[in-house]
Structure 1
């Protein structure tokens, strides 16, 4: 009898404990579900402000005599996104900005590998309907469709989407996510007398928190011996840091605020459903390589009209190099990085592949 009186209270106490545990769990899950619905609807609405699928159509017949076909993404094959950083200083309203930075992000939905290619803006290429010219002029000559086609032809890739932002949009993104901790490899100084010295560069060497203004200075700096070669390397490295920061739990929660903050500065042709699919793919993917285009060993130093341009020794070999990079097992180091010299030293080369299938 004593044992029975000692044991009988225990069962109700345990039941009570589990009862409150499940009630608490239900409340937490309910709140999480409510937040998820709010977040999804909010982000969806924010994304809807970005989407302009019609923007890939040529604006006038003068800009492009024949329509430029834009490949469609079905969701299962490789997807390639043209990332354009524009320099809109000194242009009138309605005019098209110059491409200050040209990158292509390539994602494989099957392997979940992402590759980032940065294209040297002075690369001398064929631009359909306009003969040959620097690749960064394609945007001004035929807007986004022609830029997508020109970069895609160079790399041997189908470019399905573009994302464009200018200096201010980039700064706003970095400020909204709270800046990026980054190791600035050397002192960087440059006086830019345009726009009332608004875009002067003054950075000190060392690991530090870069706000939007300082981050823009870092990715724009090219006033050293290797000029645009090291600048594109900096851009690829910095974008990897930004990508990692955007995938943090805190910034995923704040995604609607982030999207709202940069929306006035961004143009793209991605529909909202595709944005959501690409967002999921981006979170699941990892960066397998970052690569300069053209690689050092395929660059030919040319002059056109007395000005220096970046020629290509063999375009077929260049496309084969891109294909090799995409197919490379990322457990084996791919020699695609251009070292950033702190003492203006020379830059080494890369290796090439042997296939050139357009994807």
Structure 2
């Protein structure tokens, strides 16, 4: 090989390396900007009108990165609302990550659970977010007996955009699901057939919204947890990771959170190394009862202390202990009733 040929080869290699570095930098910067845009400030925040009323609300605890962390996920239906109005949460989940145990627990909170809303009396838990995110976090923290460090808030459109951005999900729909929404001019009708199929954003939303069966919200929260697992798995694949900057850009307008980019990086590291150990409804069936407050149907917790014990044992247990934990909660409740 001549000297001239060697120089060309060297410069070609240098240019390729520089292009790879430039592409990597662009990718990192694009991801950073996308993540940073999730946290809305001032008038861009959906909570701009209520933030002043939360000045005296307890701040969420700090997360150092080594202890368990709990994130409140809230999905809302913002259709037909005016600017500044905050809808009740249509779905609420707590995702608990433990860096030491490398475990993830998902807790779906029934939206009609009747509980104390700090500084606002007793009401259904899905009303807590209308008073602001810190109020919602404190409400869930008091109910479950665990600290809630972060929240993530989105609406129907954000969910649709996310599922479409990751290319949809392959999922088994366990039965035919049909419901007509005349109030929305049939925009949110539900029409799904039983069987394995590819769900896009709109059909995935139909699946997680359906509750017109015998078990109503109980079965709906189970479906929400299972579909969320499928979306998470889809996001882990190589195609979705390459598309991450575009995905973040698509969903950003519909998301608000108190997570900083640094927090997100730490959570991503913990989540990548962890696996989902449990996926549960809160309160469990044996610790709730259907009742009425006035003419409103609500779900009452039969014993708040036992609920906190149930959650604590669940988060600290191994997968094989889950059945034993539930049996313990039931036994405690039976003892309490006997007294």
| Superposition TM-score tier, normalisation by shorter sequence | 0.7 to 0.9
Structure 2: which 5+ residue stretches go unaligned?
2-8, 333-339
> How far did 1:350 drift?
4.0
Match 1:210 to one of 199, 204, 218: 199
Root mean square deviation, CA, Å: 2.8
1:220 aligned residue: 209
1:334 to 305, 322, 326: 322
Larger Rg: 1
Shift of 1:52: 3.8
Query: How far off is 1:278 after superposition?
Result: 1.3
2:146 counterpart residue number: 157
- For residue 276 of structure 1, what is the aligned residue in structure 2? 265
**In structure 2, what is the Cα distance between the partners aligned to 1:66 and 1:75?**
26
Match in the other structure for 2:246: 257
Number of equivalenced pairs: 322
Gaps of at least 5 residues in structure 1 are 1-11, 13-19, 337-348
Partner of 2:337: none
Counterpart in 1 of 2:60?
Answer: 70
Equivalent in the alignment of 2:227? 238
In the TM superposition, residue 60 of structure 1 has moved relative to its aligned partner by 4.6
Does 2:43 correspond to 1:50?
A: no
Length-normalised TM-score, structure 1: 0.83
Distance 2:179 2:89 in 1: 20
Residue 105 of structure 2 corresponds to residue 115 of structure 1: yes
User: Residue 184 of structure 1 is aligned with which of 173, 182, 185?
Assistant: 173
How far the C-alpha of 1:207 sits from its partner, in A, is: 0.3
Query: Are the equivalent residues in 1 in contact too, given 2:48–2:84 (CA < 8 A)?
Result: no
CA distance in 1, matches of 2:108, 2:180: 25
Determine if contact 1:52/1:270 at 8 Å carries over to the other structure: no
Q: How does 1:282-321 map to 2 (within 5 A)?
A: 282-321=271-310
- Asked if the contact 1:81/1:106 (under 8 Å) is kept, the reply is yes
How far residue 303 of structure 1 moved from its aligned partner, in angstroms, is 1.0
Take 1:302 and 1:217, find their aligned partners in 2: how far apart are those partners? 28
- 1:351 aligns with 327
TM-score, length of structure 2 as denominator length: 0.87
SS of equivalent residue, structure 2 residue 196: strand
Range 217-226 or range 72-81, more displaced: 72-81
Larger CA deviation: 145-154 vs 58-67 = 58-67
1:94 alignment partner in structure 2:
84
